[in-house]
Amino acid sequence: MAGCVELLTKGWAWDARARSAVDTALQDEAWRVREMALRVVARHRLEDAVTTAADLQDDPNARVRAAASRALARLASDKDSA
């Protein structure tokens, strides 16, 4: 599953079937998996993950917190430009 998320972060086209893998990765116990999932959220503008991204701003790992903030900023900028 983490491999799926990693492929998505390298620019592969989005496939909606990957959404459940991203949801699972956002809650993975490995911080790196959560961080990469947040990159997917930002890159593919997964607006339905905004609540989880907001929750991850309180993650114990600083890199996950930073990725969560970047994902939320990206999602917010999309709304501002609409």
What is the predicted pLDDT for the residue at 27? 97
The per-residue pLDDT for range 46-81, each reduced to its tens digit, is 999 999 999 999 999 999 999 999 999 999 986 666
Provide the domain count of the chain.
1
Say how far apart CA 18 and CA 22 lie, in whole Å: 6
Say how far apart CA 69 and CA 60 lie, in whole Å: 14
Report the SS3 class of residue 12.
Answer: coil
Q: Say which CATH number the domain at 49 has.
A: 1.25.10.10
Can you give the residue range of the structural domain that contains 8? 2-81
What is the predicted pLDDT for the residue at 38? 97
pTM comes to 0.81
What is the predicted pLDDT for the residue at 15? 73
pLDDT of 12 above 90: no
